[in-house]
Amino acid sequence: MSSPAPRRSPAPPHALIAAGSATQIVATRRGEPVTAAQFMHDVRRVGEALPEGRHVLNFCADRYRFAVVFCAAITRGQTTLLPPTTTPNVIAAMRAFAADVFYVTDDETIAVDLPRASLPGETACSGDSLDIPQVPGSLPEVLTALEKDHEYLLEGGVFTEDLIEMWINLKREEIDAIRLRPHPYEFDMYYDI
């Protein structure tokens, strides 16, 4: 008879981007390569420009700018909301869900009924320093962080303490259900005759 799979230790945090050196190419923009150092420089600059709200709507059409704003929000502990459209009723729903929501865009023609955060101008990074922030490495770590810090979800009465607790418990049950069952590859290795 087999015993349950051993509990795995929590996964170590992951680097925000996977770059081995400051000069490694991690993106392209307008056909030009972007190094890891430049990308992290842009993330830090945008992060410094973002307001203190916990929720951001990222309406950047340029893929590179979108990634920079997204990573800047992650490093600041902000949640990026991605609604399917910018119609007034959807924007009103976003405001009802998160009273502190603001938006970022690289398109001057987009205007919605929310506070707008301006993106800083582009500058080249000076030097090759590479300080890549770490983010949680597993769902259990994220759930633990959510247990400790979820007051912002209670604002506006959209979520209740009971609902958040129930959702966290449900996710933990799902994690345990997966953890306690053999992976198909393990089954193939140990039980296939």
pLDDT attached to residue 14: 76
The residue extents of the domains of the chain are: 22-132, 136-193
* Per-residue pLDDT in tens (0 to 9) along the chain, 193 residues: 444 545 455 567 777 877 778 888 888 888 899 888 899 999 999 999 999 988 999 999 999 999 999 999 998 988 898 888 888 898 988 888 888 899 999 888 888 889 999 888 888 877 666 777 777 778 888 888 888 888 877 877 778 999 999 999 999 999 888 888 887 887 788 876 6
Number of H helices, E strands in the chain: 7, 8
Q: Going by C-beta distance under 8 Å and a sequence separation of 6 or more, which residues neighbour residue 9?
A: none
Q: Tell me the two tokens of residue 77.
A: 């502990």
As to burial, measured by CB atoms within 10 angstroms (0-12 exposed, 13-18 middle, 19+ buried), residue 2 is exposed
Residue type, 133: P
Write the DSSP assignment of 43-88 as a string of letters: HHHHHHHS-S-SEEEE---SHHHHHHHHHHHHHTTPEEE--S---H
Which residues make Cβ contacts (< 8 Å) with residue 115, sequence separation at least 6? 51, 53, 102, 103
Domain 22-132: CATH class, spelled out: alpha beta
